[in-house]
């Protein structure tokens, strides 16, 4: 029996467990047994030809099994196998630690003068030998770009402004939503509906009027990325989606800017500093994105509100060190943080000589179409659609309920969503179980399916259709539409 550690993104496919005891004398035998036990997990770990996918990797204790005997690596009783994102290089703390480096040259430091008010404001920095007046001038001279003013961007921009970073750029075209306030602490209740960039600018100006805030209320894209990034000294990645993350990486590599990376998922965070001139880039770590739908967004998967606060502060800390030129930057190091276990781990990253953008034979020399690269366009081309005749509106459903029709309405959301809000008279069968439990349903009678917005129920409809059900209806707009049009007493989430 080996103990297999499952990353959070895959826990939904392993029956909810992040640790499983699986039999097998070799890595391959353990993985095969794991896949046999959890067929849903299998397609995320292995390609159709049975190869372990590029974005997953297996460690035995602290050793990368690729550096051992691969699948043939023997596994002793009670040994730990961790399934972790594919990384180039070994695991374990980096020794010796990377040397300090500053992105602000001395001539720019010397040009930045501090007023008496600023000297008083920053006095706790000025009496720190590692910062002192020269470091504070470097901070004033620095131009830092934050991609996103959301969960990560909020805390890090607050601290950068407070620390006296002279110019802070913010790229965000989104508006503040009530559901953002649980973690995006730069915005307040009064800001709901405003542009995030405007709301962030106002908060930052209040914290420190000496900071020059440059807002870009446009979607960060291949068309504008070079123009936006070129005048900044460093970039902080506070994005929440893969296309923008790869775009941020590539533009930083092409313009030779350090990219202070952070990402969050439920209770887990990651942070690093990608700087192709001095170490690996994001593509060295993740050569390809996970297929769409594998890693849910915060909106789909949830996130502990304080987690982006912790990871964003780590990013702010790294940015400030890169400006000051003190300490050991997170270059070539991936920091993993688990908030539930309160554990930090550090993985060693190496530059991948075959990296398509920073390796020796580069295949990417300009920005590409990132939606397409991440498979999102392809996914949209084949969305979970249903025929118009298979849709039912909430008004129609309500009218039929009021007429006393005996209806089978199946809610395909998760139990924790059902606990927040439900439509009366519905039955819960989560999407993941719908095929398995289709025997509980009468294929001959009409079945109405619903979820939060109508997407998952469309998926459920197509899955049941494939099982021979043909009297199916999808509730358009899901329980959200029900709350909007029928009963505002049903909470939206
Ligand atoms: Zn690279």
Which are the catalytic amino acids? 298, 451
Full residue range of the structural domain in which residue 360 is found: 142-376
Provide the pLDDT for residue 13.
83
Distance between Cα 273 and ligand 1 center (Å): 12
Q: Do 394 and 278 belong to one domain? A: no
Give yes or no: residues 158 and 279 share one domain: yes
Short-list 492, 319, 490, 486, CA closest to 397 = 486
357 CA from centroid of ligand 1 (Å)? 6
Distance 14 CA to ligand 1 centre (A): 32
Give residue 299's pLDDT: 63
User: The pTM is what?
Assistant: 0.78
> Measured between alpha carbons, how far is 261 from 249 in angstroms, rounded to an integer?
9
Q: Is residue 94 part of a domain?
A: no
Answer yes or no: do 13 and 50 share one domain: yes
Residues whose CB is under 5 A from ligand 1 (ion)? 281, 283-284, 355, 358
Residue 206 covered by a domain: yes
- Same-domain status, 360 and 398: no
Whether 98 is covered by a domain: the verdict is no
Ligand 1 centre to CA of 305 (Å) is 31
Ligand 1 centroid to 126 CA: how many Å? 37
Domain total in the chain: 3
Same domain flag for 370 and 394:
no
User: How many Å lie between the centroid of ligand 1 and the Cα of residue 353?
Assistant: 8
Distance CA 169, CA 414 (A): 39
CB count within 10 Å of CB 194 equals 15
pLDDT recorded at residue 349 = 82
Q: Are residues 26 and 50 in the same domain?
A: yes
In a domain, 136, yes or no: no
- The answer to whether residue 148 is domain-embedded is yes
Do 432 and 296 share a domain, yes or no? no
CA–centroid distance, residue 402 to ligand 1 (Å): 61
Distance 362 CA to ligand 1 centre (A): 9
Report CA(86)–ligand 1 centroid distance (Å).
13
Whether 131 is in a domain gets the answer: no
How far away, in angstroms, is 292 Cα from ligand 1 center?
22
Domain identity same for 203 and 335: yes
Cα 286 to middle of ligand 1, angstroms: 9
* Judgement on whether residues 417 and 463 belong to the same structural domain of the protein: yes
| pLDDT per residue of the chain (493 residues) written in tens, 0 to 9 | 899 988 776 777 888 888 899 999 999 899 999 999 998 888 778 878 887 776 677 888 767 677 678 888 999 988 988 887 544 344 556 778 999 999 999 999 999 999 999 999 999 999 999 999 999 999 999 999 999 999 999 999 999 999 999 999 999 999 999 999 999 999 999 999 999 999 999 999 999 999 999 999 999 999 999 999 999 999 999 998 889 999 999 999 999 999 999 999 888 899 999 999 999 999 988 877 876 666 666 666 788 999 999 999 999 999 999 999 999 999 999 898 999 999 898 887 888 888 999 999 999 999 999 988 887 654 444 456 888 899 999 999 999 999 999 899 999 998 888 999 999 999 999 998 899 899 999 988 899 999 999 999 999 999 999 999 999 999 999 999 999 999 999 999 8
Look at residue 167 in the predicted model and tell me its pLDDT. Answer: 98
* Domain final residue pick, 353, 376, 399: 376
Are 147 and 243 members of one domain?
A: yes
CATH of the domain at 34: 3.10.20.30
Q: How far, in Å, CA of 492 to CA of 474, rounded? A: 19
Cβ pair 392, 476 in contact under 8 A: yes
Distance 89 CA to ligand 1 centre (A): 13
Please indicate, yes or no, if residue 461 is contained in any of the structural domains: yes
The reply to whether 437 and 293 lie within a common domain is no
Of 41, 60, 85, which residue constitutes the final position of a domain?
85
What CATH number does residue 415 fall under? 3.40.250.10
Cβ contacts of 16-21, under 8 Å, gap ≥ 24: none
Query: Are 290 and 224 contained in the same domain?
Result: yes
Residue 102 placed within a domain = no
CA 334 / ligand 1 centre spacing (Å): 14
Question: What's the pLDDT at 373?
Answer: 87
Kindly give the distance from the C-alpha atom of residue 359 to the centroid of ligand 1, in angstroms, as a whole number. Answer: 6
| Listed residues 61, 85, 109: the one ending a domain | 85
Structure-token match 């953002």, residue found: 180
């Amino acid at each position: 029996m080996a103990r297999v550690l499952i990353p959070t993104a895959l826990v939904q496919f392993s029956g909810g467990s992040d640790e499983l005891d699986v039999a097998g004398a070799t890595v391959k035998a353990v993985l095969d047994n794991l896949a046999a036990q959890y067929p849903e997990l299998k397609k995320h770990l292995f390609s159709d030809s049975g190869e372990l996918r590029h974005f997953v990797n297996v460690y035995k204790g602290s050793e990368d099994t690729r550096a051992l005997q691969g699948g043939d690596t023997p596994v002793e009783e009670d040994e730990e196998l961790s399934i972790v994102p594919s990384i180039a290089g070994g695991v374990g703390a980096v020794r010796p630690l990377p040397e300090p480096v500053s992105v602000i040259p001395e001539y720019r430091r010397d040009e930045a003068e501090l007023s008496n008010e600023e000297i008083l404001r920053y006095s706790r920095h000025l009496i720190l030998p590692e910062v002192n007046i020269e470091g504070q001038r470097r901070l004033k001279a620095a131009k830092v770009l934050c991609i996103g003013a959301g969960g990560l961007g909020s805390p890090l921009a607050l601290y950068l402004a407070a620390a006296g970073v002279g110019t802070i750029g913010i790229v965000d075209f989104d508006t503040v939503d009530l559901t953002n306030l649980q973690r995006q602490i730069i915005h307040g209740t009064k800001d709901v509906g405003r542009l995030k960039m405007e709301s962030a600018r106002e908060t930052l100006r209040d914290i420190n009027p000496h900071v020059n805030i440059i807002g870009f209320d446009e979607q960060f894209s291949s068309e504008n990325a070079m123009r936006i990034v070129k005048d900044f000294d460093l970039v902080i990645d506070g994005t929440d989606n893969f296309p923008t993350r790869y775009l941020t990486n590539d533009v930083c590599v092409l313009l030779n800017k350090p990219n202070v990376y952070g990402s969050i998922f439920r209770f887990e965070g990651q942070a690093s500093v990608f700087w192709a001139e001095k170490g690996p880039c994001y593509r060295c770590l993740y050569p390809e994105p996970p297929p769409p739908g594998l890693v849910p967004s915060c909106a789909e998967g949830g996130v502990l509100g304080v987690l982006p606060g912790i990871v964003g502060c780590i990013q702010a800390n790294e940015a400030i060190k890169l400006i000051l030129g003190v300490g050991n930057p997170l270059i070539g190091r991936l920091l993993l943080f688990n908030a539930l276990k309160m554990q930090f781990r550090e993985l060693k990253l190496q530059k991948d000589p075959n990296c398509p953008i920073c390796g020796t034979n580069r295949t990417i020399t300009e920005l590409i179409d990132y939606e397409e690269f991440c498979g999102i366009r392809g996914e949209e081309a084949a969305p979970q659609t249903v025929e118009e005749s298979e849709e039912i509106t909430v008004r129609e459903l309500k009218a039929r309920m009021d007429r006393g029709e005996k209806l089978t309405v199946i809610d395909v959301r998760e139990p924790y969503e059902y606990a927040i809000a439900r439509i009366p008279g519905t039955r819960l069968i989560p999407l993941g179980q719908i095929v398995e439990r289709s025997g509980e349903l009468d294929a001959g009678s009409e079945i109405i399916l619903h979820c939060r917005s109508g997407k998952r129920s469309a998926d459920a409809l197509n899955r049941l259709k494939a099982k021979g059900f043909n009297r199916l209806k999808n509730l358009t707009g899901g329980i959200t539409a029900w709350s909007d049009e029928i009963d505002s007493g049903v909470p939206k989430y």
